[in-house]
Amino acid sequence: MLLRESGAMEGRVFDPRAVTDASVASGVPFGEELVAFASASVTGSEAELAQHREALEAAMGVEAMVDAAGVAANFERMVRIADATGIPLDKPVAVFTVGLRQELGIDAFGAARNTPKVGALLAALGRLGQPLARRLMAHYAGRS
């Protein structure tokens, strides 16, 4: 899986299932605290958000907590804009992420109705193209 292997460039293994399943360890440093904070920022009460913000700050420091809050807020903003306007997932992204979206259950989310379905042939081509995508990611990561 493309996302799981993206950490290979840094010698790390990530498990994206942690985003939708709290019982799975992501492999991301401070991943548990980050997921709890992100979840509280979207669905938690003010007290829950304060609790997770403090836990994140204790684990990562104030600057990293502020960065995480900015990323969470920006992502929420982008998702709301996309959902409100009905923006579908781009076709190439939809093709390359079929397996990931199925594994995480993302296609069950309401906003997924805006993304056109990917046929079996394109899904197979997307899976076949993932090794090339990994090489391209490694190439561009090496240049940055």
Mind listing the pLDDT tens digit for each residue in 39-89?
899 889 999 999 999 999 999 999 999 999 999 999 888 888 887 887 877
- Can you give the residue range of the structural domain that contains 35? 1-86
Query: Which of 10-19, 40-49, 88-97, 115-124 is the most confident on average?
Result: 40-49
d(CA 95, CA 91): 6
Domain count, the chain: 2
**CB neighbour list of residue 120: distance below 8 Å, 6 or more residues apart:** none
Q: Are residues 77 and 108 in the same domain?
A: no
Mind listing the pLDDT tens digit for each residue in 118-139?
888 888 887 777 777 767 766 6
d(CA 94, CA 118): 7
Count CA within 13 A, CB hemisphere, residue 90: 3
Q: Are residues 63 and 125 in the same domain?
A: no
Q: Are residues 3 and 52 in the same domain?
A: yes
CB 116 within 8 A of CB 88: yes
Q: Are residues 2 and 66 in the same domain?
A: yes
Range 99-107, long-range pairs (CB < 8 A, 24+ positions): 99/1, 99/123, 99/126, 99/127, 100/1, 100/2, 100/3, 100/16, 103/1, 103/16, 103/17, 104/16, 104/17, 104/19, 104/20, 105/20, 106/20
CB 12 within 8 A of CB 100: no
Whether the CA torsion 39, 10, 14, 107 is positive or negative: it is: positive
Q: Are residues 9 and 63 in the same domain?
A: yes
Whole-prediction pTM: 0.65
Q: Are residues 106 and 78 in the same domain?
A: no
Q: Are residues 79 and 30 in the same domain?
A: yes
Q: Are residues 110 and 44 in the same domain?
A: no
